């Protein structure tokens, strides 16, 4: 099966091409993978690590194409998303495996002892695999090799490797032996055991993630079948960032990843992978973020307050001053005192109590007027909210000669919810309309599911590059994120309708939540009931369900 080559990958100038091989077998406790402990070397991040066999490509690997059976370069290159040279990686993986652990994938039987002189020559770089094959008459068997993944060492690392990983069943009848140079010791481990031993084994991020993935399969056949069936192979490039214990690698599926790439594309490792209260983070020449000290189940790491200026840092606008917190207020005031220009205005996305109560105190301390909209329903709203101005949809707020915020009314989570689009940076301050890593609660009567979906669809028409949520890090690629959220809400709606079939056509809200939110911890079912009610009210307006007393009834 070929892999469509949308954008051919180019190895960065500071990285070296490499290949690695996952050798799988079935053991007494299920799937096992062969790992080796690398030699200790000063200044080497992989020193002493438990890894899979593998190493750098050799320029002579290409000459061994003629000695390979089971795949050609064109087919394998397409699978790897390369214009050519895919077979180079397969040859390198087999060569390094032979050198390090004395296992050889060959198309015919051979005398392992007789090949030891060749193993020494290959290790010392005295010959290439084509020389080996020509002399021994052996062909390299790549027919059982399955492309697994593509990893690139982070920018800024002392040594960078552009590595392709393959998986195969370990050759039968061969016994692995460590070369005592690169491989100091060998281990057949179940992936779960290897992960459990990570305190004793030094595991690089790529190794740990691969082991975690392998742990889902019970045996080699099921693992290799699943790997062979893959059609997408996204580049996995960790980024270096500061964490609670110092420098760490952040993977692409972690919340902080996109923001770290924006703030530190060169890999200086000075960006944080934590949202810490009170810390001012420069997101762009125009934007600073301060997170309030109100972490929780509903607020994540805390509410983000954004300060926005023109590109010269003159004059400031605060978005969402956060909860009524003197600590947070003082943090904002100290920061403003160190910035050029005054605070000109305070904008509020909506009046839930983790976003707007800080507006009154900040306005009193600075004299900046407050802008935001009143909610249609007072329940769970900030009763102290008293804006001087209620922005309208489409209104433009001029911050400076080169900086404008456009108001977008996005009802749904709240009737008065506003997003603010920083047009020059195509960055949308989303409040709670879009949150990172979770869906927002739609809480009737002020929350409205139909309005929420309509507001999300409206954002698909906007030219966006970044989302700046009320809780969480910057989010990249907004359009796929928004489309995914819409799809998620519609799947939940379909699940609501399907639940009626299981409960006999009618049920109370409490009974339905057990069916519709069976994938959510029971402790959150009380909150889930609010969004479920919003779904039911939308379906009632659509004519799909009706409310009869305390029971909801399917109209289908």
Domain boundary among 176, 209, 236: 236
Whether residue 509 lies inside any domain: the answer is yes
Residue 435 and residue 509 share a domain = no
Question: Domain for residue 65, yes or no?
Answer: yes
Q: Do 461 and 492 reside in the same domain of the chain?
A: no
pLDDT given at position 6: 54
User: For residues 234 and 264, is the Cβ–Cβ distance under 8 A?
Assistant: no
Q: Which domain holds residue 547?
A: 487-554
Assess whether 424 and 445 both reside in one domain.
Answer: yes
Within this chain, do residues 467 and 495 fall inside the same structural domain, yes or no? Answer: no
Give residue 2's pLDDT: 41
Q: Residue 248 falls within a domain, yes or no?
A: no
CATH number, domain at 321?
3.60.15.10
* Residue 2 falls inside a structural domain: no
229 CB burial (10 A radius; 0-12, 13-18, 19+):
exposed
Asked, for residue 56, whether it belongs to a domain, the answer is yes
Separation between Cα atoms, residue 207 and residue 211, nearest integer Å? 6
Judge whether 444 lies within some domain: yes
Same domain, 174 and 29: yes
Is residue 342 domain-resident? yes
pLDDT of residue 45: 67
Angle at 359 between CA 358 and CA 363, to 5 degrees: 120
Q: Give how many domains the chain has, as a whole number.
A: 3
Strand extents, DSSP E, 293-394: 304-309, 316-319, 343-347, 370-371
Are residues 212 and 125 part of one domain? Answer: yes
Pairing status of strand 316-319 against strand 343-347: parallel
The pLDDT of residue 7 is 62
| Residue that terminates a domain, selected from 236, 256, 290 | 236
Residues lower than pLDDT 70 in the chain: 1-7, 42-45
- One domain, residues 538 and 458: no
Distance in angstroms (rounded) separating the CA atoms of residues 80 and 147: 7
* 492 and 466 housed in the same domain: no
Do 61 and 182 sit in the same domain of this protein? yes
Last residue of a domain, one of 454, 476, 498: 476
Do 525 and 399 share a domain, yes or no? no
Asked whether residue 266 is assigned to any structural domain, the reply reads no
Same domain, 468 and 491: no
Read off the CATH number of the domain in which 500 is found: 1.10.10.10
Looking at the structure, tell me whether residues 170 and 289 fall in a common domain. no
Looking up residue 30, the CATH number of its domain turns out to be 3.90.79.10
User: Would you mind telling me the total number of residues written for the chain in this entry?
Assistant: 556
């Amino acid at each position: 099966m070929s892999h469509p080559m949308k954008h051919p990958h180019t190895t960065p100038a500071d990285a070296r091409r490499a290949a690695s091989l996952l050798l799988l077998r079935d053991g007494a406790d299920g799937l096992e993978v062969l790992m080796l402990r690398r030699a200790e070397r000063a200044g080497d991040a992989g020193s002493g690590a438990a890894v899979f066999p593998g190493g750098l490509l050799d320029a002579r690997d290409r000459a061994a194409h003629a000695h390979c059976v089971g795949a050609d370069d064109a087919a394998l290159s397409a699978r790897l998303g390369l214009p050519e040279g895919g077979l180079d990686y397969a040859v390198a993986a087999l060569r390094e495996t032979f050198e390090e652990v004395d296992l050889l994938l060959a198309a015919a039987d051979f005398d392992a002892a007789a090949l030891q002189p060749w193993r020494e020559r290959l290790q010392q770089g005295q010959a290439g695999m084509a020389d080996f094959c020509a002399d021994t008459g052996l062909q390299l068997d790549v027919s059982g090799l399955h492309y697994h993944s593509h990893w690139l060492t982070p920018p800024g690392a002392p040594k960078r490797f552009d590595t392709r990983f393959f998986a195969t069943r370990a050759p039968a009848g061969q016994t692995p032996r460590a070369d005592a140079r690169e491989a100091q010791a060998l281990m057949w481990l179940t992936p779960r055991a290897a992960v459990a031993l990570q305190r004793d084994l030094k595991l690089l991020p790529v190794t740990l993630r691969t082991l975690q993935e392998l742990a889902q399969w019970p045996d080699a056949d099921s693992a290799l079948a699943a790997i062979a069936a893959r059609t997408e192979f996204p580049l996995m490039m960790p980024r270096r960032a500061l964490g609670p214990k110092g420098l760490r690698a952040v993977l692409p599926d972690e919340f902080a990843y996109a923001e770290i790439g924006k703030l530190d594309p060169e890999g200086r490792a000075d960006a944080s992978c934590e949202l810490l209260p009170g810390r001012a983070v420069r997101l762009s020449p125009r934007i600073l973020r301060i997170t309030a000290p109100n972490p929780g189940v509903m607020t994540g790491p805390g509410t983000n307050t954004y300060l926005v200026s023109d590109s010269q840092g003159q004059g400031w606008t605060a978005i969402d001053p956060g909860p009524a917190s003197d600590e947070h207020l003082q943090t904002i005031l100290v920061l403003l005192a160190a910035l050029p220009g005054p605070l000109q205005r305070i904008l509020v996305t909506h009046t839930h109590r983790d976003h707007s109560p800080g507006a009154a105190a900040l306005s009193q301390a600075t004299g900046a007027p407050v802008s935001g909209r009143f909610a249609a329903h007072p329940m769970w709203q900030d009763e102290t909210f008293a804006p001087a101005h209620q922005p309208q949809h489409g209104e433009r707020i001029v911050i400076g000669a080169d900086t404008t915020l456009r108001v977008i009314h996005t009802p749904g989570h709240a009737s008065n919810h506003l997003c603010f689009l920083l047009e020059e940076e195509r960055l949308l301050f989303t409040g709670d309309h879009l949150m990172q890593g979770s869906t927002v609660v739609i809480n009737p009567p002020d929350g409205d599911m139909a309005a929420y979906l309509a507001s999300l669809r409206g954002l698909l028409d906007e030219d966006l590059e970044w989302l700046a949520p009320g809780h969480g890090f910057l989010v990249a690629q907004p359009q796929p994120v928004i489309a995914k959220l819409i799809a998620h809400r519609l799947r939940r709606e379909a699940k609501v309708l399907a639940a009626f079939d299981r409960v006999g056509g009618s049920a109370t809200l409490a009974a339905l939540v057990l069916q519709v939110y069976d994938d959510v911890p029971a402790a959150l079912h009380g909150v889930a009931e609010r969004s479920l009610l919003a779904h039911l009210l939308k379906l009632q307006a659509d004519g799909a369900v009706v409310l009869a007393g305390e029971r909801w009834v399917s109209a289908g």
